[in-house]
Structures are given as structure tokens and as C-alpha cells.
């Protein structure tokens, strides 16, 4: 009789899944049954494996997920580190705010990491997100500044994910936090001003504290996780600092984009809500407005 073991997928590459079981790392090809059900295994999935050899087998069942992302493809995420560099590449607050909104919508704790602080002052960007109510880590993998604080968060139990544009320094930061990881990092392409996707697969690394951290390939801005499952009425709930104001608008169905008597707009006006955050909100709201209900599926 075939032997069945439980484990967690810690790496996916080249059509193989690597499942960490209590005793070993098992190389698996997922069975066709999952493809037919349109459910493909993800890194972070708790799975059942049927062993076919000492270190090989196939995934036969996936446990229900508490959440998942398609980009980066990881399941059962407890916190996501949204990594942005202050330069090379430059920060894009709309991309960042989209990522934050998706995390909030999915119930994943978003944490902000501003890297390459050795290149430029990060105060302004840091303030925008700190005042909005997020934990912000300003770090330099080069000088080691701020690395201890990130290590402290990463060593917490559960699954943490590092995501952000290619070249922002995700792998470099992971290496600075735990030099033993020795993850390959890349050079910034001077001509394009962006990285060249040095990390090519998702992999979970176990931390000394027992938690897991996923390094992921960077994205370019066109391949963001889709946020179109969010209804436009739900969007303001994905901007946590709006919560103090949304109940005080003159109209109950206020969209917080342009209405008279909008308390969110007043807060933007007096500087309590960052203008860049509200600008991102409006851009996303316009996108969501165009989506028909039947397209949301």
C-alpha cells in the first residue's frame, strides 16, 4: 500500500512542487485531478503526498486555504512585506496602494519596507505610511540600518511574504537579515533602470523562530495581482486611515472622490489624510467603476 504523508509546499519550480514533510523534502508532480478542478497547488499549501520513492511522490490533496495570492503565488499568508526602494527603481505609490488594498481585502497584514535608505532620505515616504497606520521599516541592506527590526517581525510564527518590484532589494534584505540564506541577488540594469528578475521562483525559507518567509520574483507594474474582485463600495474599507471619516460624510452613499460635504476630502484638504493615498483611491475607484457585476467572477 502506498505511503501517505502530510507536509507543506515550500518551493515551486519547473513543474515540480517541493513538499517539506516531517522527515524529508519530497519532490512532487501534482496529479491531473487538481488541474481539472482548476485548483493548482501553491507554495504555502498544506498538502497530502503519496510517496512513490524515498524522496519523490505526488500531491493528492490540498487542505482548505485561509487565503492566497496569485501574484506572488503563495497560500496561507499571515503577513506581507511590501518592499519599495527609495531609488533604483523609484517608488510608485499607486502600485504600493494597490498592493496594500489587496492585502487588506484578503485579511493579510501589510507591512511596509523602504529599502536602499543609504541612497536617499526616506522621511517623506515613511511618514505617509506611518501616519496612515502601517508599520514601516526603513532599511539598508548595504549599511545594515533597520535590519534588526525586520528580523524581529520575520521571526514571528506563520508565513511571511516578501513582494515588490524587481530590483528593489528583497533578496538582499533577506540575506542581510539571515546571512546563512545566501540567496542570489542581481545587479540593476543601468539601461532599463530596473532589475532583471534575479529571483525566478517562489521559495519559503524557515526562520530560526519557526516561521517561514517567502522570497518571490519581483513584478513589473503590469502584472499586479488583480484587485477587481473588490467592489467600488468596498474600496474605502481597504484604505484604513479613511475609517475615521467615512461615517461623517454628508451623503450616505458618498464615493469619497468629489462629493460636497465629504469628510474624507476635508481630511485630505487639512492634511490628515495623505494626498497621494487619496489619489490612488480615486484612480482605483475609477477602474472599479468600469467593471460590470458579471465581469467580477
Ligand X SMILES: Nc1nc2c(ncn2[C@@H]2O[C@H](COP(=O)(O)OP(=O)(O)OP(=O)(O)O)[C@@H](O)[C@H]2O)c(=O)[nH]1
Ramachandran category for residue 106: left, alpha or beta (phi over 0 → left; psi -120 to 50 → alpha): alpha
The binder of Mg ion chosen from 84, 85, 117, 199 (CB under 5 A) = 199
Grid coordinates of 190? 543601468
210 burial class (0-12, 13-18, 19+ CB within 10 angstroms)?
A: exposed
84 counts as binding Mg ion under rule CB under 5 A: no
Q: Does 169 bind ligand X (CB under 6 A)?
A: yes
Taking CB under 5 A as the criterion, which residues in 150-189 touch Mg ion?
170-171
264 binds, among ligand X, Zn ion, Mg ion, none (CB under 5 to 8 A by kind): Zn ion
Is the CB of 29 or the CB of 197 nearer to ligand X?
197
The residue (of 188 and 207) whose beta carbon lies closer to Mg ion is 188
Binding site partner of 187, from Mg ion, Zn ion, ligand X, none, Cβ cut-off 5-8 A by kind = ligand X
Which residues, in sequence order, are CB contacts of 191 under 8 Å at separation 6+?
none
Contact 99, 82 (CB under 8 A): yes
Instruction: Tell me which stretch binds Zn ion (CB under 5 A): 18-26, 108-116, 171-179, 262-270.
Output: 262-270
Site string for ligand X, 191-230 (x = CB under 6 A): ----x-xxx-----------------xx------------
Q: Does 264 bind Zn ion (CB under 5 A)?
A: yes
Q: How far is CA 38 from CA 35, 148, 193, 259, in A?
A: 5, 41, 37, 43
- Distance of alpha carbon 62 from alpha carbon 47, whole angstroms: 5
Quick one: which H or E segment has residue 297?
none
Which residues of this chain interact with Mg ion, rule CB under 5 A?
170-171, 198-199
Amino acid at each position: 500500500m502506498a505511503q501517505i504523508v502530510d507536509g507543506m509546499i515550500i518551493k515551486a519550480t519547473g513543474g515540480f512542487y517541493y513538499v517539506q514533510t516531517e522527515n524529508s523534502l519530497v519532490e512532487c508532480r501534482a496529479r491531473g485531478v487538481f488541474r481539472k478542478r482548476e485548483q493548482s497547488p501553491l507554495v504555502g499549501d498544506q498538502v497530502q503526498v503519496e510517496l512513490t520513492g524515498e524522496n519523490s511522490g505526488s500531491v493528492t490533496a490540498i487542505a482548505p486555504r485561509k487565503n492566497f495570492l496569485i501574484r506572488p503565488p503563495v497560500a496561507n499568508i499571515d503577513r506581507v512585506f511590501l518592499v519599495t526602494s527609495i531609488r533604483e527603481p523609484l517608488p510608485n505609490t499607486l502600485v504600493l496602494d494597490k498592493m496594500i488594498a489587496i492585502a487588506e481585502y484578503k485579511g493579510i497584514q501589510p507591512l511596509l519596507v523602504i529599502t536602499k535608505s543609504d541612497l536617499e532620505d526616506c522621511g517623506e515616504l515613511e511618514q505617509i505610511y506611518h501616519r496612515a497606520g502601517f508599520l514601516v521599516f526603513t532599511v539598508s541592506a548595504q549599511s545594515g540600518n533597520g535590519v534588526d527590526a525586520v528580523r524581529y517581525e520575520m521571526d514571528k510564527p506563520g508565513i511571511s511574504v516578501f513582494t515588490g518590484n524587481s530590483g528593489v532589494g528583497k533578496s538582499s534584505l533577506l540575506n542581510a537579515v539571515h546571512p546563512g540564506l545566501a540567496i542570489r541577488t542581481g545587479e540593476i540594469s543601468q539601461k532599463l533602470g530596473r532589475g532583471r528578475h534575479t529571483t525566478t521562483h517562489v521559495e519559503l525559507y524557515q526562520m530560526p523562530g519557526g516561521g517561514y518567509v517567502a522570497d518571490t520574483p519581483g513584478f513589473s507594474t503590469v502584472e499586479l495581482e488583480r484587485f477587481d474582485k473588490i467592489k467600488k463600495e468596498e474600496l474605502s474599507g481597504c484604505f484604513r486611515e479613511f475609517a475615521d471619516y467615512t461615517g461623517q460624510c454628508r451623503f450616505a452613499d458618498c464615493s469619497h472622490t468629489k462629493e460636497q460635504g465629504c469628510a474624507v476630502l476635508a481630511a485630505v484638504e487639512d492634511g490628515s489624510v495623505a494626498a497621494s493615498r487619496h489619489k490612488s483611491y480615486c484612480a482605483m475607484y475609477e477602474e472599479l467603476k468600469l467593471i460590470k457585476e458579471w465581469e467580477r467572477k
